[in-house]
Amino acid sequence: MPSESALMRNWYAANIANRFSRSKIIIALPGDTTDRLSSVNLMKDELILHGIDLSRIMLEPLGTNTRSQAINILKRISNNDQRTPNFEFHTSKIVNQYSIFTSLIIVSSPEHINRAVLTFKKIGFVKVDGLPAFENAIESDLTYNDRTLGGRRWIIPGIGGNIVFRYQFWTQLHYEELIIREMFATAYYKLKGWI
């Protein structure tokens, strides 16, 4: 089974791919494509379980960061087109000639979408959009009565009815960490001239 984040991305990718039935799906994830249990193959298998035909799925297992994935995807698309034998990845004119390859929806984690979109545009893709793979909140009532569950009341305050403190506060701390990391990554990409 793919990781939690890969499952979320697959679910969103499958939904959007089913809406755009002629689109290709490119899984950009480093991995060994000959190993059936590698993450890249598990993601492919999961898309097939969601009704995506294998002929629509392409793998990009070589890129180890967003820029190298964007470069590899553009090279692969251009190399599949026999009209572009002398392709150079830094030339956006090639992409502009073939509008079928210029529309792209990137499915990734919410904090990564902005950098991914900017990176693909810098490489030469013209129409790039992002679909953040948000986790869906549980719809059940998770409150509880502290008195009925027992335990010490004089040391630890009762928080059974406080969903914000019990879940959202901690989740937001996790997001802060992700956003700070992404801010540094975006600054690095900008300093390198990759976005």
Q: In the numeric block, which tokens belong to residue 40?
A: 């890249």
- Kindly report the backbone phi and psi dihedral angles of residue 144, in degrees, each rounded to the nearest multiple of 5, phi listed first: -145, 165
Which tens digit of pLDDT belongs to each residue from 115-134? Answer: 999 999 998 888 899 999 87
Contact of 62 with 92, CB cutoff 8 Å:
no
CA angle in degrees (0–180, nearest 5) for 134-142-176: 40
Closest to 68 (Cα-Cα) out of 131, 116, 24, 32: 116
pLDDT (tens digit per residue) in 132-162: 987 665 556 667 677 776 666 677 777 777 7
Under a CB-based contact definition with an 8 Å cutoff, are residues 13 and 107 in contact?
yes
pTM over 0.85: no
What domains can you pick out in the chain, each with its CATH number?
4-137 (3.40.50)
Query: Whose CA is closest to 47, among 30, 23, 31?
Result: 23
SS3 label, residue 110 = coil
Q: Please, what is the average pLDDT of the chain? A: 81
